[in-house]
Amino acid sequence: MARFLQYFFNGLSNGAIYSLLALSLVIVYRGSGHLNFAQGEMAMVSAFFAWWYGRSMPIWLAVIAAAVTAFVLGALIERFIIRPIGLRSPFAVVVAAIGLFLGLNALAPFAWRVTNPQPFKSLFPNDAGDFVRIGGATWRYERIGILVVMLVLAALLFLLFQRTKLGLSMRAVASNPESAPLVGIKTGQVLMVSWGLAAFVGAVGGAMVASVNTNVDAAMMFTIFFSAAAAATLGGFDSLGGAVLSGLALGAIENMAAGYFPDLIGQELRFSSSLLIIMIVLLVRPSGLFGSQRVERV
Amino acid sequence: MTALLEVAGLQAGYGPVEVLHGLDFTVGDGEIVVILGANGAGKTTTIRAVSGTIHRRGSIVYDGQDIGRLAADAIVVAGVAQVPQGRGTFVDLSVEDNLRVGAITRKDGAVDEDVDRWFEVFPRLGERRGQKAGSLSGGEQQMLAIARAVMSKPRLLLCDEPSLGLAPLIVEELFRMLQRLNAEQGMSILLVEQNANLAMDIANRVYVLETGRIAATGDAATMRDDDSIRKAYLGY
């Protein structure tokens, strides 16, 4: 039981990071219908910003400043890269996003003139004794903290989407981009905000990864992005709640698979195990676990 | 009657294809004007040109303001709302959210009351307020589309073939609704229709559109009773 709980707790905080990035992917997808392949790398660059700001200010302030920076950059990327290209061809956007992925990956170490991973301070109390003990398993404050941050952010996003005019505009654009201007919605602004918001959430995810790794590194989001994309797919790609639950579930399952079958799966195949689960789920439910099946009578 | 909408030399189309070759028409303040025409005459293009959803040239003056270069969202703010063809409801949003999104440009606090009022006018929408709009029947979606457009408190309502694909009884109900909006709220309405019979009943004036040009115009009553016009343009 202690072993189970241990794998579960650790898996949940890995999963919380997947959830954060999956939320980013879902926000962009709902807004403009694109899968942003560069979402992970945008989070990585944001983590570099947090590291950079952190040299001259408290680390939490640096993370918030980095997330705000990410919001602005995300909005600009939508306006000046994604939108002009998307007007020509939706497929070109996929290529542009992959280009962005490679470009950002090369840019970060270059921009800050660093090659090795750079040390990053932990965002949570992280001394030897900073944990709670539940059922014989230890749950470190840092891992609890990551989970709480994700849940709070997800709740705020839910309120934004369901309770505000901006959220209503974003849902309207997602549902019917042709009709949105006919009720007076400035679709372009809504898309910029969507991409900005996604980058903001991703930046928080990037900071959490940096905190766990205790460093920032250009390759830090690589495997995480694939698990997050898998979580978004599993959750149905247009459901915030689906992204949260699927992220957590994948984190927990991966960790248990790796923990219980160290020889068969281990660290090498842990990501493959989640992809296998997704394939099976999508065979049975093509719109994911929580995705909306489009209901439309004519 | 002063003109609320004055259109002159309107040209519009899709890419290199020009559909409207210079239309002139007006909608007076408080008037219901119907543009009749067969398939492909340019009815939908006319509505889209006025609402700013396609490229257009010529002069479109609404309430003294040239809206010919404004974007669609700014035209809504100016006071012109469109009920698009095929309804254009937000199918993933609930019925109530569809009404609220119609009022998204409003700054006053009376949105809740207006939502409730629509649920009284169309009880069938009220019963389904929490359901996704996509689950409504065609007639209910058309009601919702009109209600949503009116939620923005327009002075001019553009309706693109509201009768399309609906049962005659439902169409009658919708047209009575338009008539009521016109009579009670003084809302001006520009309606394009194929269903000449019903549309002429509620209209003050009629334009007949033929392959992108105005072929005839006149009072609805006169046009209805003029056999030669009826036979030539309306086909009944």
Q: Is the separation of the CB atoms in A221 and A95 below 8 Å? A: no
Query: How big is the A-B interface in CB pairs under 8 Å?
Result: 84
pLDDT by residue (tens digit) across A179-198? 999 999 999 999 999 999 99
Asked if B70 has any chain A CB less than 8 Å from its own CB, the reply is: no
pLDDT of residue A293: 64
Least Cα distance to A162 among B93, B157, B34, B91 occurs for: B93
Helix (H, G, I), strand (E, B) or coil at B11: strand
Asked if B78 has any chain A CB less than 8 Å from its own CB, the reply is: no
Instruction: Read off the DSSP letter of residue B42.
Output: S
pLDDT of residue A294: 60
pLDDT category, A33, cuts 50, 70, 90? confident
Percentage of chain A modeled with pLDDT above 70: 98
pLDDT over 90 at A215, yes or no: yes
pLDDT of residue A273: 78
d(CA B125, CA B123): 5
Distance from CA of B223 to the nearest CA of A (A): 32
Beta bridge partners of residue B216, listed in sequence order = B208
pLDDT of residue A190: 96
CA atoms within 13 A on the CB side of B67: 29
pLDDT over 70 at A297, yes or no: no
d(CA B229, CA B223): 7
Helix (H, G, I), strand (E, B) or coil at B98: helix
Q: Is the separation of the CB atoms in B163 and B177 below 8 Å? A: no
pLDDT category, A66, cuts 50, 70, 90? very high
Cα-trace Rg, chain A:
19
User: Which of A75-79, A283-287, A291-295, B98-102 shows the lowest mean pLDDT across its residues?
Assistant: A291-295
pLDDT over 80 at A295, yes or no: no
Helix (H, G, I), strand (E, B) or coil at B200: helix
Q: Which of B91, B104, B165 has the CB atom closest to A165's CB atom?
A: B104
Q: Is the separation of the CB atoms in A237 and A294 below 8 Å? A: no
pLDDT of residue A110: 87
pLDDT of residue B176: 94
Q: Which amino acid is at B1?
A: M
CA atoms within 13 A on the CB side of A259: 16
Which residues in chain A are contacts of B160 at CB distance < 8 A? none
CA distances from B67 to A187, B47, B178 (A): 19, 13, 24
User: Which of B92, B140, B144 would best serve as a mutation to test chain A binding (most A beta carbons within 10 A)?
Assistant: B92
Residue range A2-284 forms a domain whose CATH class is mainly alpha
Q: Which of B91, B141, B148 has the CB atom closest to A175's CB atom?
A: B91
d(CA B45, CA A80): 30
pLDDT of residue B235: 65
Structure-model confidence comparison of residues A31 and B27, the more confident one: B27
**Quick one: A298 exposed, middle or buried, by C-beta within 10 A (0-12, 13-18, 19+)?**
exposed
Asked if A293 has any chain B CB less than 8 Å from its own CB, the reply is: no
pLDDT of residue B224: 83
pLDDT over 80 at A265, yes or no: no
Query: Between residues 143 and 172 of chain B, which touch chain A (CB distance below 8 Å)?
Result: 148-149, 152, 165
pLDDT of residue A2: 87
pLDDT by residue (tens digit) across B85-129? 877 899 999 999 999 999 999 999 899 999 999 999 999 999 999
What is the pTM (predicted TM-score) of this model?
Answer: 0.89
Asked if A272 has any chain B CB less than 8 Å from its own CB, the reply is: no
d(CA A202, CA A24): 6
- For residue B218, how far is the Cα from the chain centroid? 19
pLDDT of residue A279: 83
DSSP structure string for B146-199 = HHHHHTT--SEEEEE-TTTT--HHHHHHHHHHHHHHHHHH--EEEEEES-HHHH
The answer to whether the Cβ–Cβ distance between A181 and B76 falls below 8 Å is yes
Output the 3-class SS for chain A. Answer: CHHHHHHHHHHHHHHHHHHHHHHHHHHHHHHHCCCCCCHHHHHHHHHHHHHHHCCCCCHHHHHHHHHHHHHHHHHHHHHHHHHHHHHHCHHHHHHHHHHHHHHHHHHHHHHCCCCCCEECCCCCCCCCCCEEEECCEEEEHHHHHHHHHHHHHHHHHHHHHHHCHHHHHHHHHHHCCCCHHHHCCCHHHHHHHHHHHHHHHHHHHHHHHHHHHCEECCCCCHHHHHHHHHHHHHHCCCCHHHHHHHHHHHHHHHHHHHHHCCCCCCCCCHHHHHHHHHHHHHHHCCCCCCCCCCCCCC
Q: Which residues of chain B have pLDDT under 70?
A: 1, 233-236
d(CA A84, CA B29): 40
User: Is residue B142 within a helix (H) or strand (E), and if so which, with residue range?
Assistant: helix B138-150
Sketch the domain layout of chain A as residue ranges: 2-284
Asked if A287 has any chain B CB less than 8 Å from its own CB, the reply is: no
CA atoms within 13 A on the CB side of B98: 36
pLDDT of residue A287: 78
